[in-house]
Amino acid sequence: MIHSYSSEDKVLLAVDCIIFGFDEEELKILLIKRDFKPERGKWSLMGGFLKKDENLDQAANRILHHLTGINNVYLEQLYNFSKVDRDPVERTLSVSYFALINSAEHNTELTENYSAKWFTLSEAPSLIFDHGKMVKHAISRLRYRASNGPIGFELLPEKFTMRQLQKLYEAILGEKLDKRNFINKINSLDILVKLDEKDMSSSRKGSFLYKFDQQKYKRKIDDGFSFKL
């Protein structure tokens, strides 16, 4: 006999998306203005509810695309939030996802059909419910990843300067890095290819351009290499 679940408590399962963007200068977060009660008109993460015919990953991608027009980005599951009174309307659990994308590449998708907007982390408004807590978890995960792996290279041009790379890591880590120490550390990792080309826009002497050698990095990982910034 199949056991009936009719006597068990029913709860809603929400999915919330935390989208960070980098524009070669600053780390930003994408927020949306809530258009229904409670908390109508206040800023929120992109969220919605899991449907019966989809898994969590599918729900996260559907919700993000529906609310922002952004599609085909890799979303990583972050954490679940289950405080009993986290949603004042009904008992709701939330599974959060996060992503780091190039904000400039997705600006055209944020048309007037959507109320989503980029904010720098320092200027982001207060968020509804426990969304601020979700963002803090995501920032911590992002910074951990940046300290333990070459995160974010896909956000840079194919050929980039050491200054651009340092700006990326400063944006993610939320702190200024000593230029000499940063360059020495990156060079010691031996995962970049220094090119003969220079970017002449930064100074009269110009700055050498680099490329990330992904294949070399994978080989080093296979050999037991540990990335530590």
Give the per-residue pLDDT at 176.
Answer: 94
In a domain, 4, yes or no: no
| Last residue of one domain, picked from the residues 109, 127, 147 | 147
In a domain, 80, yes or no: yes
- Whether residues 157 and 139 fall in one domain: no
Triad 175, 98, 227: Cα angle to 5°: 55
The whole-angstrom separation of Cα 106 and Cα 68 is 10
- Whether residues 93 and 76 fall in one domain: yes
Decide if 164 contacts 211 (C-beta within 8 A). no
Instruction: Place 115 in a pLDDT band, splitting at 50, 70 and 90.
Output: confident
The whole-angstrom separation of Cα 215 and Cα 140 is 28
CA distances from 206 to 12, 199, 202, 212 (A): 56, 5, 6, 20
For residues 75-79, average pLDDT? 97
User: CATH number, domain at 207?
Assistant: 1.10.10.10
In a domain, 227, yes or no: no
Kindly state the tokens that stand for 100. Answer: 């780091």
140-160, pLDDT tens digit by residue? Answer: 999 999 988 888 888 898 999
- Whether residues 32 and 140 fall in one domain: yes
Domains contained in the chain, number: 2
| Last residue of one domain, picked from the residues 147, 181, 210 | 147
- Whether residues 18 and 82 fall in one domain: yes
- Whether residues 75 and 135 fall in one domain: yes
Q: In which domain, by residue range, is 97 found? A: 12-147
User: CATH number, domain at 122?
Assistant: 3.90.79.10
- Whether residues 154 and 55 fall in one domain: no
Decide if 31 contacts 116 (C-beta within 8 A). yes
- % of residues, the chain, pLDDT over 70: 98
In a domain, 89, yes or no: yes
- Whether residues 118 and 77 fall in one domain: yes
Three-state DSSP class for residue 59: helix
Give the per-residue pLDDT at 1.
Answer: 52
The whole-angstrom separation of Cα 177 and Cα 169 is 8
The whole-angstrom separation of Cα 176 and Cα 135 is 21
Residue 78 one-letter amino acid: L
In a domain, 176, yes or no: yes
Give the per-residue pLDDT at 129.
Answer: 97
